Amino acid sequence: MHLARFPRIRLAHLPTPLEPLPRLSEALGVEIWIKRDDCTGLAGGGNKTRKLEFLLGDAFEQGADTLVTQGAVQSNHVRQTAAAAAAYGLACECILEQRTGSKAIDYTRNGNVLMDRLFGAGIRTVPGGSDMPAELEKTAAEVTARGGKPYIIPGGGSNPVGALGYVDCAREIVVQADELDMQVDRIITATGSAGTHAGLVAGLAVMGADIPVLGIGVRAPKAKQEENVWKLAHATAVLLGRPDAVTAEMVVADCDYVGEGYGLVDDAVIEALKLAARTDAIVLDPVYTGKAMKGLIALAKAGRFENETVVFLHTGGAQGLFGYESVLAAGL
């Protein structure tokens, strides 16, 4: 594994800190550390920034001048893509899917959407359930028709090139843990469009680190999520020249904490947001890390992590909180 072989531009503040969470650990009776990928820097940070380093590297190699991507209305990925485009003088066209169905003014105007507009991205909104890959192709064709050179970034930046960002994060975690003489028993992450989970699994496998990753699903049911992650982890290992490194058993997702659906908040998510904030002052988000923490809390209370040292990957998203004020207010 030698990531300098892949084109890359620099966007993130790396390495992100790996820190203990003493008060949350005490509250849950499990030793929990946190990998601060909410501190990657760009536009407030988050996990998409690592992926975008490799995706923009590829975009420049292909001579692109316009990034085209998609996400839910409160997409953290779209925010970070719009910021990366601004920082490198590219145009950015975004398609926002009304995936949650929310018409609340904070959801449609504040949080990530406000920042997309601040970065000057073009925004087109489509109904929930739209064929988003087809929408990407349509926008890319429009860019081409006006003489531009589009570069399509799939939802969440989740393809093998984007997943290289989390191969690099896996390496970072192992190096940091080794420097601390700290044995990591498990890494826990939210898993959505799969690139983060897949990149971690591929990176750890290629290194032979033997650290299991538990993905807490935020959208798809378990079988579908594990299939998506496995396919992408395998494709990433192929890109790294190690096609046999990842096995299906390495891919584990627990999708019991999705609740009503993607981007829909329940009481246990609000309790998770409050617990993280009121123990170690960690700001989670309502769509991804809040659900992952909801899962971590339930599993810890059920004794799943007994005598383990667990690393919780904070994938960012706090900017989305401001799109959920009307949903969260009563619970605070």
Ligand X SMILES: *Cc1c(COP(=O)(O)O)cnc(C)c1O
Distance between CA 200 and CA 144 in Å, rounded?
Answer: 35
By CB under 6 A, residue 159 contacts ligand X: no
The tokens of 77 are what?
Answer: 């990925």
Within positions 267 to 286, which residues make up the interface with ligand X, using CB under 6 A? 285
Q: Between 85 and 188, whose beta carbon lies closer to ligand X?
A: 188
What is the rounded CA–CA span in Å between residue 330 and residue 325? 9
Question: Binding to ligand X by residue 323, rule CB under 6 A?
Answer: no
All residues at 6 or more sequence positions from 141 whose CB lies less than 8 Å from its CB, including other chains? none
**Strand pairing category for 31-36 and 309-314:** parallel
Distance CA 154, CA 156 (A): 6
Residue 69 lies near ligand X (rule: CB under 6 A): no
Catalytic residue among 75, 102, 158, 193: 75
Q: How many CA atoms lie within 13 A of 31 on its CB side?
A: 10
User: Do 186 and 310 contact (CB within 8 A), yes or no?
Assistant: yes
75 is catalytic: yes
Instruction: Assess contact for 212 and 187: CB atoms under 8 A.
Output: yes
**Segment interacting with ligand X (CB under 6 A) among 106-114, 121-129, 174-182, 195-203:** 195-203
47 belongs to the binding site for ligand X (CB under 6 A) = yes
Please tell me the distance from the alpha carbon of residue 172 to that of residue 197, in angstroms, as a whole number. Answer: 15
Of 22-30, 145-153, 188-196, 293-301, the window that binds ligand X (rule: CB under 6 A) is: 188-196
Q: Is 291 in the site for ligand X (CB under 6 A)?
A: no
70 neighbors 96 (Cβ within 8 angstroms): yes
Tell which one of 34, 289, 291, 328 touches ligand X (CB under 6 A).
289
Among the residue ranges 24-32, 137-145, 189-197, 265-273, the one whose residues contact ligand X (CB under 6 A):
189-197
Report, in Å, the least distance between residue 317 CB and ligand X.
3
Q: Is 99 one of the binding residues for ligand X (CB under 6 A)?
A: no
Query: What token pair was written down for 82?
Result: 């719009």
Q: Does 195 bind ligand X (CB under 6 A)?
A: yes
Applying CB under 6 A, the site for ligand X has a residue count of 20
Select from 16, 70, 102, 315 the one that contacts ligand X (CB under 6 A): 315
> Do the beta carbons of residue 87 and residue 59 sit within 8 Å?
no
Decide whether 44 or 143 has the Cβ nearer to ligand X. 44
Contact between 44 and ligand X (CB under 6 A)?
Answer: no
Rounded to the nearest 10 degrees, the angle between the axes of helix 48-61 and helix 160-179 is 130
Considering only 111, 156, 160, 203, the residue that binds ligand X (CB under 6 A) is: 156
Catalytic residue set: 75
Q: Which residues bind ligand X (CB under 6 A)?
A: 46-47, 76-77, 156, 158, 190-197, 285, 288-289, 315-317
